A and B are shown apart, each in its own frame.
Chain A
Amino acid sequence: MGLKATARKNAIHAMLIYAVGCNGCDIEVLNALLSPRYDLEQYRVLLTWNPREADVLIVTGCVPWQMAEPLKKLYEMVPEPKAVVAVGSCAINGNVFKNMVGEIGINEEIAGPVENIIPVDVKVPGCAPRPEDIIAGAVKGVPKLMEAP
C-alpha cells in the first residue's frame, strides 16, 4: 500500500447528500455514521458537510428535477478519487414515487434515480435500509479509493 492509500485509509470522509426522499434513509445514514450504537467514526470514517474534502458521497432520495442540477454540481466539486453510494430504494429506482403511479403514467417531478444524473458505484437497497447495510455499502466503496493512483 502506497503512502497516499495509507493516508486515505486513515481518514475517509463521507458526505451525505439529501436528494429529497422522505427523510427515513437520511436519518438511518446519520444513525450509521454518527450515533453511538453504530458509530462509523470509531473506524475513522468521518461525516463531513464539505464536498471539497469528501471521498465517499452518500446519496439518498429520488432526485426531483429541482435537485438534479445541485446534485451534479456537488458531485463535480468532490476531488478524485471518489465513490458514490446510492442508499435506499428511491436512490436506486425511484421507489413508489417513480414506479407506483396512478393515472399520470410518468411522474414528471422526478428526474430519475441517482444513476441518471451521476455515476453510482455501490447500491444499498431497502426502504429504509438497515444501518448495518449502509455500513457494508460504504465499506464496499473503499477499495475504489485505495486502488486509485
Chain B
Amino acid sequence: MTERSKDVVVEKELSFGPVHPALIEPFRIRLFVNDEIVEDCELTINMAHRGVERLLEGLPVERALLITERVCGICSNVHAWNSVRVVESGLNIKVPDRANYIRVLINEVQRITSHLIFFGHAFEVLGHETFSMRSFLLREVFMDLMAYIGGNRVMPSVPVIGGIRPRADLTESLKRVILERVDDFEKKYLEFVERVVADPLVMSRLTGVGLMSKDEAIKYHATGPTGRASGWDYDVRRMMYEYKPFDFNVVVLPEGDNKARVVARALEVIESLKIIRQVVKNLPEGPIVNRDWVPGKMDFTTMYFETFRGELMHSYSLDSQGLIRGYKIRTPTPTNLAAMEKVCIGDHVTDAVLTIASCDPCMTCCNRVEVIDSGKTRIMSEIEIVRKYGWRR
C-alpha cells in the first residue's frame, strides 16, 4: 500500500475476499475509491500457505524437484528446472548439450501456454468471451505437445539433476509432429492477434489505462513482461548459458499501459516459437543425462531464472549427506505485487481488476509467512521465523 496523505478524504472502500466463491484464488483486494477513480489499492495475500520451504528441509536433493514442481501448476517446469540448476551450479555437474536443448524446448512450450492463459484470463475480465475462448482453444495445441514430450499436460517433470528424464527424449517422429503443430499454430495465432489488435472496442479499453513509467517499474521491481512493457530492458535469459545457442529478441515496449502488457506477451509467444524451431532443427546428438555425480556438501547457491511472469530465485545449501538445508524460493508474483498496487491508481474503478490481471498475478505460489510484531508487519522467510519463534505456530 502506497503512502496516502492524511487530508485526502476517501469516499468509499471496495473490498473483495479473502475467500469469495467468485475469486478463484484466495487473496484480498481493497480499492479506495473517490468519484469512481481509484485513489489507493491494497493487495493482501496469505490465505494459501502450504509451507513448501519447510517441507524441503532435510529431504535428499534428488527428491526436491518433485515438491518444487508442484509450487505452481502454470509454471511447473521452471521450478523443477531452477531447483536442479542450483545443485548443478553448486556441485559443478556438467549437463549434456542435448539435455539443455530439450529443457529449453519444454520451457518455451510452457511459456506459450502460460501467456495464452493470460490472454484467456485478461479477455474474460475485459468482457470479451470470444477472444478468451479462442486463446483457450489455441492453448490446447501446446498442452498436447507437453503431454507428448513429458507425459503429462500440467506436470511434464522433464529435468532431473544432470540432464533430463529418458522418456522426454525427442524422437524423429516427435520432432516432425512438433514442427507441424508449430506451423499450424503460428498461422492461427497470427490471425487471432491481428483480429485482437484490429478490434477498436478492445483496444480502446486497453490503451492508456494503467500507466507505469520505466522509473516506477524499476522502483517497484516489476520483473518479466510487466517490467519490459514499461521499457525496462531486463531479461535473465540473456545471462543464462542454456539460452546462448539460440537467437531471439527480448520484447521491450516503451508505453507501459495495459495494451503494452498484452502486446508484449503476444510478441513473446512469437519469439518462443522461434526458439522451439531452432531447438528442433539444431538438436545435437549425444547422451541426455550425466549420472557422474555424488551428493555432498554444498554452500548456499542462488540461481535466478526468467519465468513467464518475472524473475524466479531458488537458493539452498546441502549438508555433508546431501540433504537440503535452508531452501528459499522467491516466485515472480511477490516482486510484481507492489507494481500491481501502483498501476491501478488514478484509473476508473472498472479497469482496476483488468489492470491487476494484466500484470499476470499467480497468488498460489507467492504466499509468505507474515509476522505482525508490535504493530509492524514484515515479511520474513521461514528460516528467520524459526530462528526467532521456533517451529510451533
Residues of A within 8 A of B54 (CB): 102, 104, 107
Interface residue B72 (Cβ < 8 Å from any Cβ of A): yes
Task: Tell whether, in the assembled complex, residue B22 and residue A109 are in contact, meaning their CB atoms are under 8 Å apart.
Answer: no
Nearest residue (CB) in B for A35 is B136
CB distance from A39 to the nearest CB of B (A): 9
Stretch at the interface among B58-66, B94-102, B160-168, B259-267: B58-66
Interface size (A, Cβ < 8 Å)?
Answer: 42
Interface residue B28 (Cβ < 8 Å from any Cβ of A): no
B-side residues, CB < 8 A to A, are 19, 21-22, 24-26, 46-52, 54-59, 63, 66-67, 70-74, 76, 117, 133, 136-137, 139-140, 143, 152-155, 323-324, 362, 364-365, 391, 393
A24, A64, A102: the one contacting B58 at CB < 8 Å is A102
Task: Tell whether, in the assembled complex, residue B155 and residue A128 are in contact, meaning their CB atoms are under 8 Å apart.
Answer: yes
Q: 1/0 contact trace for A13-30 toward B, CB 8 Å?
A: 001111011111111100
Task: Tell whether, in the assembled complex, residue B24 and residue A66 are in contact, meaning their CB atoms are under 8 Å apart.
Answer: no
Complexed CA–CA distance, A7 and B160 (Å): 52
Residues of B within 8 A of A22 (CB): 70-73, 76, 364-365
What 8 pairs across the A-B complex have the smallest Cβ distances?
A24-B73, A103-B58, A102-B58, A22-B73, A35-B136, A24-B154, A128-B154, A23-B73
Interface residue A141 (Cβ < 8 Å from any Cβ of B): no
Chief secondary structure at chain B's binding surface: loop
Task: Tell whether, in the assembled complex, residue A95 and residue B48 are in contact, meaning their CB atoms are under 8 Å apart.
Answer: no
Task: Tell whether, in the assembled complex, residue B67 and residue A96 are in contact, meaning their CB atoms are under 8 Å apart.
Answer: yes
Complexed CA–CA distance, A21 and B154 (Å): 13
Residues of A within 8 A of B25 (CB): 18, 23
CB distance from A145 to the nearest CB of B (A): 20
Task: Tell whether, in the assembled complex, residue A21 and residue B73 are in contact, meaning their CB atoms are under 8 Å apart.
Answer: yes
Known: A127-B155, A128-B152. A97 touches B52 (CB 8 A): yes
